[in-house]
Amino acid sequence: MNIIHFIQAGGTIDKDYLTDDDHRAYNFVIGDPAYRSITDRAEIPYPVGFTMACQKDSSDMDDQDRDTIRRIASEVAEDKIIITHGTDTLHVTAKHLADISGKVIVLTGALKPERLRDSDADFNLGMAVGAIQCLPAGVYIALCGELKRWDEYIPRSPPSLSE
Amino acid sequence: MNIIHFIQAGGTIDKDYLTDDDHRAYNFVIGDPAYRSITDRAEIPYPVGFTMACQKDSSDMDDQDRDTIRRIASEVAEDKIIITHGTDTLHVTAKHLADISGKVIVLTGALKPERLRDSDADFNLGMAVGAIQCLPAGVYIALCGELKRWDEYIPRSPPSLSE
Amino acid sequence: MNIIHFIQAGGTIDKDYLTDDDHRAYNFVIGDPAYRSITDRAEIPYPVGFTMACQKDSSDMDDQDRDTIRRIASEVAEDKIIITHGTDTLHVTAKHLADISGKVIVLTGALKPERLRDSDADFNLGMAVGAIQCLPAGVYIALCGELKRWDEYIPRSPPSLSE
Amino acid sequence: MNIIHFIQAGGTIDKDYLTDDDHRAYNFVIGDPAYRSITDRAEIPYPVGFTMACQKDSSDMDDQDRDTIRRIASEVAEDKIIITHGTDTLHVTAKHLADISGKVIVLTGALKPERLRDSDADFNLGMAVGAIQCLPAGVYIALCGELKRWDEYIPRSPPSLSE
């Protein structure tokens, strides 16, 4: 039985320098979910589940995407959910999940892609994985060293254009 | 006021390839505490404190080192303490701290030095920082994706010779 | 006296995830020249010079930029020049420099930014620094393990849109 | 047909944090040859050959090891040989190969293991790969930004104890 279910929404954390299908040019695009590399490095011994909800900058997400995330989070068997997400609208998605009961849901992301040398991705995902084992049911945000209930989270800066 | 106090015991997490004072040769020695680079990358916005207790492989630690750690943990103002430590005897040190009251103490370390490309150090420290904000007073161990109370922690393998 | 003069034209090698001045958003923009971090890591013991010619994707470069590079390369005192450049139009810029005499000029770049964990940047710059000490005056391209005279270089793929 | 033949002698460049067979403990031991990861990252398009001569700190190498390297270098079909080696006795091995004719042989290594975040390994191997395509037959050393004929190479510091 999976201990944690990961949901990919997208965001900077998953950006890599790849061929962009549209242009056949190299560009930074949201690719494979970073949680995979990170949990491999961390040598996590227990099984986890995964669903890709979308692969978007969070400022490009809409209610349909948030409904998808809510549906997945509600329906999977696991009661521990970590959502990797763009950092700009973590709180918007979090609010959208607030009525889910019986689950510990932690949203996280990164200011720098996991593919970058000095990324905060590993640390933030670690925060989520550590906190999720201690928290009561509810929705939380883990970012930049802070672990907050969704309704106590203060976004770092005004929503920006491509995160 | 500092939010978390970090204590360095040593261990693999802090190993770097440096000149070894004794031999003027390059070798892997325990150096600057890894929490510093990690929390810089994570862009932690709050102040933290730090004390170096020792810089040893945990299989080389003795009761005197553990007394030092306990003294520091008891005496600092902060009620949240993260100890970076070799992974072999985390549970031994944890037990030594079990009688400290009014503090949340999380011990962590890494299987690979923070200086390595594919280290688990950032993730594990993230686990400690995330969990410490959710846990009641007590002593815990965060490693390889698992967050356990010290008396429920099962070491991964028999104590080895140089960790 | 400087041994090598580095010229920054831009390209993927120098892309980092930074605030974009226009949008105050985090985005991948050409930043500090990667040769600096790379030569620091390599512990190069001799002094080098540097001039920033432009900071562009090479498909955005025009003749004015190439004239600038040619002027710098011609006028600096050093007879060894390394130009870090986008990979798409290395050969175009190389041709533009072909009439400079008395200098060894090596153009290089990277398919992945130096800031990425698995970048080819260090290797390519190493190729340029190694080759430049062995080559007679002329213009060369060093990329992906191949060291070619500019007029023998075959670009890897058709010019793409953002490199 | 292979363009370059790599020979592994060992040294810091290939050190990784692995289980040590003798002790079943984690320790830094010479493991897989670093040239493999490095040339993969560099997306080298041509085939290369490889032979493991030994996996030793260069201060532990003896004449038998050097004879092995000389035999391999002489006998392989390729006329371009790169030897990854500990940095302390590069010049000793180089001298041992000086009588081989018709081959370009470049010895290189690194001050920090390729597995370290800020390693010079990629850069140094790049130097060797770049230079080897420009040099006449002979034996050379590429390290820390300097490309020298073996008999003009000045070791950085007195032979140390574990490199």
Provide the CB-side half-sphere exposure for B115 (13 A, CA). Answer: 23
Q: What is the mean pLDDT of chain D?
A: 91
The pLDDT, as a whole number, for residue A19 is 56
Is the per-residue pLDDT at D4 higher than 50?
A: yes
Question: Distance between CA B37 and CA B41 in Å, rounded?
Answer: 6
Q: Sorting pLDDT into bands at 50, 70 and 90, what band is C21?
A: very low
Q: Kindly identify which residue of chain C lies nearest to residue D35, measuring between CA atoms.
A: C123
Q: Where are the domains of chain B?
A: 4-152
What average pLDDT does range D149-160 have in this prediction? Answer: 79
Nearest CA to D5 out of D54, D88, D67, D69 is that of D69
A111–C26 CB contact, under 8 Å = yes
Question: Distance between CA B12 and CA B28 in Å, rounded?
Answer: 10
A84 is catalytic: no
Rg (CA), chain B: 15
Interface test with C, best of D38, D46, D84, D134 (most C CBs within 10 A): D134
Reading chain A (163 residues) residue by residue, the pLDDT tens digits are: 899 999 999 999 999 987 554 444 556 789 899 999 999 999 999 999 999 999 999 999 999 999 999 999 999 999 999 999 999 999 999 999 999 999 999 999 999 999 999 999 999 999 999 999 999 999 999 999 999 999 999 987 654 444 4
The pLDDT, as a whole number, for residue A121 is 98
The pLDDT, as a whole number, for residue B22 is 44
For chain C, say whether D53 makes contact (Cβ under 8 Å).
no
Is the per-residue pLDDT at D160 higher than 60?
A: no
For chain B, say whether A139 makes contact (Cβ under 8 Å).
no
CB count, 10 Å around CB of C138? 17
Q: Pick the residue with more confidence: C86 or B163? A: C86
Provide the CB-side half-sphere exposure for B49 (13 A, CA). Answer: 16
The pLDDT, as a whole number, for residue A31 is 87
Instruction: Return the biggest CA–CA distance within chain C.
Output: 46
Contact residues on chain C for D41, CB-CB shorter than 8 A:
118-120, 123
Mean pLDDT in order along chain B per 10 residues (163 residues): 96 83 60 96 96 95 98 98 96 97 98 95 98 98 97 75 45
Q: Pick the residue with more confidence: D163 or D95? A: D95
The pLDDT, as a whole number, for residue B163 is 46
Could you tell me where the DSSP H helices lie in chain D? 34-41, 63-75, 90-96, 121-132
- Chains with ≥3 Cβ pairs under 8 A against B? A, D
Question: Distance between CA C124 and CA C130 in Å, rounded?
Answer: 10
Question: Distance between CA A17 and CA C52 in Å, rounded?
Answer: 24
**Tokens (6 digits) for A46:** 């227990």
Superfamily per CATH, domain B4-152: L-asparaginase, N-terminal domain (3.40.50.1170)
Question: C-alpha distances in angstroms, A19 versus C27, C55, C69, C88, C116?
Answer: 17, 22, 29, 14, 15
Q: Pick the residue with more confidence: D3 or D27? A: D3
Question: Distance between CA D162 and CA D57 in Å, rounded?
Answer: 6
Q: Sorting pLDDT into bands at 50, 70 and 90, what band is C29?
A: confident
Q: Kindly identify which residue of chain A lies nearest to residue C159, measuring between CA atoms.
A: A25
Burial D31-44 (b: 16+ CB within 10 A, else e): eebbbebbbebbeb
The pLDDT, as a whole number, for residue A158 is 52
DSSP bridge partners of A148: A141
CB count, 10 Å around CB of D1? 7
The pLDDT, as a whole number, for residue D18 is 75
For D151, which DSSP code?
G
Which amino acid would we find at residue D63? D
The pLDDT, as a whole number, for residue A29 is 85
What average pLDDT does range D133-147 have in this prediction? Answer: 97
pTM (2 d.p.): 0.93
Nearest CA to D68 out of D84, D57, D52 is that of D52
Could you read off the pLDDT of D61-120 as tens digits, one per residue?
Answer: 999 999 999 999 999 999 999 999 999 999 999 999 999 999 999 999 999 999 999 999
For chain C, say whether D84 makes contact (Cβ under 8 Å).
no
- Dump strand ranges (E) for A11-135: 15-20, 25-30, 48-56, 80-84, 104-108
Q: B126 near A122, Cβ under 8 Å?
A: yes
The tokens 């592994």 sit on which residue? D8
Q: Is C58 annotated as a binding residue?
A: yes
Active site residues of B: 12
Is the per-residue pLDDT at C121 higher than 50?
A: yes
Phi/psi region, residue C11 (left: phi>0; alpha: psi -120 to 50; beta: rest), is: left
For chain B, say whether D162 makes contact (Cβ under 8 Å).
yes
Question: Distance between CA A47 and CA A5 in Å, rounded?
Answer: 9
Burial B87-120 (b: 16+ CB within 10 A, else e): bbbbbbbbebbeeeeebbbbbbbbbbbbbbbebb
The tokens 């990170």 sit on which residue? A38
Q: Pick the residue with more confidence: A62 or C25? A: A62
